[in-house]
Amino acid sequence: MKQAYDLKIVILDGYTENPGDLSWAGLNGFGQVEYYDRTSEDEILSRIQKADIVLTNKTPLRKENLSQCPSLKYIGVLATGYDVVDIRYCKEHNIVVTNVPGYGTKAVAQFAIALLLEVCNRVGYHAKAVQEGKWNAQPDWCFWDYPLIELADKTMGIIGLGRIGQSTAKIASALGMKVQYFDEYVNTDIYKKTSLEELLKTSDVICLHCPLTKDNYHIISKESLQLMKKNAILINNSRGKLVDEQALAKALENNEVFAAALDVTNDEPIDKDSPLLKLDNCIITPHISWAARESRQRIMDTTIENLKAFLEGKTLNRVEE
């Protein structure tokens, strides 16, 4: 390994992680830092070819480019998910890959509840309507254009009771909701464990908090939507491909389920022709559950800790499969 001051560190897509409210200064002592806000596919190779260390959020690092980077020894992923990196190639060629687990647990859980509350109260809509003069034009002392829903005593079904699922469950419980969950790997007596079918049939709110795997791709399908209550609310700020969007759009359009609130979609950014964009009972936000400043600071801090450990010959948050 080169001396620290000889190392070339390349940040491929730093803007989303740090649009200017954080600092990359913690990397300065580790080498010469080359920073890019964004990197297009045809710019990747020229930017990483002579790098010793590469940091990426969503810019893909595949075999065809990695194979032409003889100095590369370390890739730091500025996120928990690391599917943007060819892990098999890196393992075979002794390139260490690290990620940042658990940085956004509280923020993502908070955002899941925010999506739910927006469905139930439509605060943003009604605030905008007041600014536009609609309240002043009413013959009554108040108005509402959407049904207002009280969550107390309703049942939240959480698919995936990991760290984020548990954090969401705590908030839901504080709102007076009954919580049940489906998870093949987690067992707890705190909340009621059910089968997936039972959860779909009996939950007023269904919240997805599971990683995407080959086994749960489109776990929310035409068939599962048909099992849900007609007043059910679907919340997804986990992974877009957990939901069959065409089936969801039809179910929402036909009032087979009450509403959906999504912070993730099958394609990101969402296809401008997606039928979900035309539906009044579907709220979509641009994958920002993770983006609170506090969460992004944790990404920054852990990334620096990961790199420091690597340079000291230690292992911290290494991923290998």
Active site residues: 239, 268, 287
Bridge partners, residue 77, by sequence? 56
Bridge partners, residue 157, by sequence? 180, 206
Cα–Cα nearest to 237, from 260, 271, 259: 260
String of DSSP letters for 220-275: B-HHHHHHS-TT-EEEE-S-GGGB-HHHHHHHHHTTSSSEEEES--SSSSPPTT-G
Cα–Cα nearest to 289, from 114, 164, 110, 108: 108
Q: State how far the Cα of 204 lies from the Cα of 253, in Å rounded to an integer.
A: 18
Residues 188, 106, 77, 115, CA torsion sign: positive
179 close to 170: Cβ distance less than 8 angstroms: no
